[in-house]
Structure 1
Amino acid sequence: GSISTDGYTVYRMYDGEDSMVLHIGCWTHCRRLWVDALPSDRRAMDIIDPIGDMFRNEDLFRMMKLSSGQIKEKRLKLTGPILERIHHKVVMMMQDAKIMANELMRKAVNYTLNQWKSLRNILKDGAAEISNNLCEQRMKPVKLLLKNCMNIGSEDAAGNSAFIFSLIESCKLNDIDPQDYLKHLFECILWGKVCDRKALLPCFYKS
């Protein structure tokens, strides 16, 4: 499958040639660095504008209600050339000593180039989003409970809690009533109705 992440170092474990997971970088996180650099150098717009074009393409794909296969084809045709232009401009910026002397611009340039392999992987999977903002927003309930979770009891309990949070937020993303889903899940586990664990995931659940 695929995983969409920001540039946190630990996710580089998915970048190896033997990885079974396609690592897809988040273009919102990349764009944010260029926006931060914009007040100090207007040339950041040379990257911000084409990233905006990519997101407009994604809005168009959603409006057209395209399948993942069709989105992949459209990305190769429409988004691929945009990516090449971005990469060319960022490489040119890296060779400009004046730009690289600007700390914020240097940070944006280095992030984009270091993450380029994963950022470009959006061309390989039409089902994957080019931004993981939606998933990060799903973490808000966990963030709000941090003080309560300080007394959660043990590492095992924390892992179980995180697992349940993940299931419930996945239900919300798939417009599923969490209570109905959990009832179904527990019945399947108790009575052994489903042998394939993957089929028990919220994205495959049908009420």
Structure 2
Amino acid sequence: MSHILTLFKKDFLLEIRQQHTFYGILLYVAATIFVLYLAMGQPESAVWNGLFWMIQLFVCVNAVAKSFLQESRGRMLYFYSITGARNFIIAKLVFNALLMMAMSLVSWALFTILLGNEVRYGIMFFGLTVLGGMSLSLVFTFLSAIAARAQQNASLMAILGFPIIIPQLMLLMKVANAAFSDVIQAGMFQMVSLLVAMDILVITLAIILFPFLWKD
């Protein structure tokens, strides 16, 4: 646990020191939502929901997918000598999940300010926003680790990411639709359970498979 906390602190301090990256992502989110406001005004709930999750996808690519790509070979060798593979990947998963949760909430705030508040059940959508941000971050962190070790960063992430992330996005949109409706749709609990199960599966695969990538 001490190794995980130390690695988490390292990523946190790097994010603070490299503030241009964080502010660049915030500027990207704000500019994109502002352009949507100029083009569409305040859209209906279905369009609002779809746009929100598509923005989260691009935010995740910019904020999370770089986590392993910025680690040099020498730095990875240093981490290899002082800690284990499981500690390293768990620290990355936790840090990126928290970062993406924060970015998702910021995006929701900007959507509410510029595109209106179409959400009827705020607490429900808050939970789904946190869960969805975490789900996207876990997938892209794992894909970033594979792509970085395979040294085919952009192409491999695109090939692996598209068939994995599209079903997850569709499920997130379907579940989030309940927060815009007066009636809670049937099967809501099962769909949320499926999302949680997918997150657990990604975490398990990362902990099991990353040590093999780490040795290379």
Coarse TM-score class (shorter-chain normalised): 0.3 to 0.5
Bigger relative contact order, structure 1 or 2 (CA pairs below 8 A, ≥6 apart):
2
**Structure number, greater radius of gyration:** 1
The alignment's TM-score, normalised by the length of structure 2, stands at 0.31
